[in-house]
Amino acid sequence: MIQPQSVGVVTPQLAHFAEPLRLRSGETLADYELIYETYGTLNAERSNAVLVCHALSGSHHVAGYYADDPRDIGWWDNLIGPGKPLDTRKFFVIGVNNLGGCHGSSGPSTLNPATGKLWGADFPFVTVEDWVDAQARLADRLGIERFAAVVGGSLGGMQALSWTLQYPERIANAAVIASAAKLTAQNIAFNEVARQAILSDPDFHGGHYYEHGVVPARGLKLARMVGHITYLSDDSMATKFGRNLRHGKAVYSYDVEFEVESYLRYQGDKFAGMFDANTYLLITKALDYFDPAFEHGGNLQAALARASANFLVVSFTTDWRFAPGRSHEIVYALLHNRRNVSYADIECPAGHDSFLLDEPRYHALLSAWFDRIEV
């Protein structure tokens, strides 16, 4: 359903980059494309641009809808639009699909110009830092020297944080939401289970499944199922499904009995039908690798000394995948460096997925924060 205060019909644009991009892995992308969308108008001073970074399953389609498919609404449409917290009457908002993605930017399911074949497993590993470098080039292309803000939730928050470290002079404000300065071992472990589900699918074919005319749908489905469990909270699952039985009683079968099974299978199938398994592998690795403190001997305070942006850090009380404690680490490391930072732990039952909801206190806070930004 199209929301009121929508940015309306949007059209993605493609930017081609011929200048090689050196990646953290040591490899180089000689040539690549980024697909992006923009909402609002860049002002004459070019000072009102806000970059919205996506997480694992997101894309450049952040707000609005497509003329040929009005049901395809941007993944953060409740945040962005005229009169919404990230107000497109004030800000020029950019969403971009990251390198390695599967929504139109160069990635495993696009053509490798060097071979004329799909990249598949040959697409190089990409990191959060590489994405930020690529986003900076897109900003150059659009004539944006400095972002009024970079905003992201989860993996998107890692990109916002990394922006403040890689290009401190090019970002005035950063909103780091339901995120972390590094994944915990437990968090990496969930990603590893998801990857193993894909890698062990007989249809994976070492990542070159396109050539075989198949997709590792079973593996991708399992990966999404395990991921989905971690995005919800125990309470929200209890409220949504409880122990509800489809047949009202046990029928001693491996078919769907509990409603939660039906839900997970549905979510897994839906995702496996629209997402690329190689992209899933790459993005979970980017999540795992992100650790700006690593090159500072694990000292996050030292790592964040480079940042000069004003920060808003937000966590959610029931988020156990990116727990409030991870946000605390960022907040107190920023405070150590005397950076401007505000932090709220929002009461919301929906777990990690809370950051995508329009919980009133959360959106009021974002509104207040964006309102203070001078452009």
Catalog residues that contact other proteins under the rule CB under 8 A.
Answer: 312, 328, 331-332, 335-336, 338, 340-347, 361, 364-365, 368-369, 371-372
Distances (CA, A) of 343 to 75, 324, 364, 369: 24, 10, 14, 11
Shortest Cβ 340–other proteins spacing (Å): 5
Whether residue 154 contacts residue 181, with contact meaning beta carbons closer than 8 Å, is answered with: no
Please give the structure tokens belonging to residue 374: 């001078």
Minimum distance from residue 315 beta carbon to other proteins (Å): 9
Q: Which is nearer to other proteins, 37 or 359 (CB)?
A: 359
Number of H helices, E strands in the chain: 10, 16
Nearer CB in complex with other proteins: 151/346: 346
Exposure of 210 by Cβ count < 10 A (0-12 exposed, 13-18 middle, 19+ buried)?
middle
Residue among 144, 148, 1 at smallest CA distance from 88: 148
Residue whose tokens read 């494309």: 33
Contact 130, 17 (CB under 8 A): no
Q: Minimum Å distance from CB 326 to other proteins?
A: 13
Give the count of beta carbons closer than 10 Å to the beta carbon of residue 108: 26
C-beta of 10 vs 177, nearer to other proteins? 177
CB of 268 vs other proteins, minimal distance in Å: 35
Tell me the catalytic residues: 154, 319, 352
Q: Which is nearer to other proteins, 117 or 361 (CB)?
A: 361
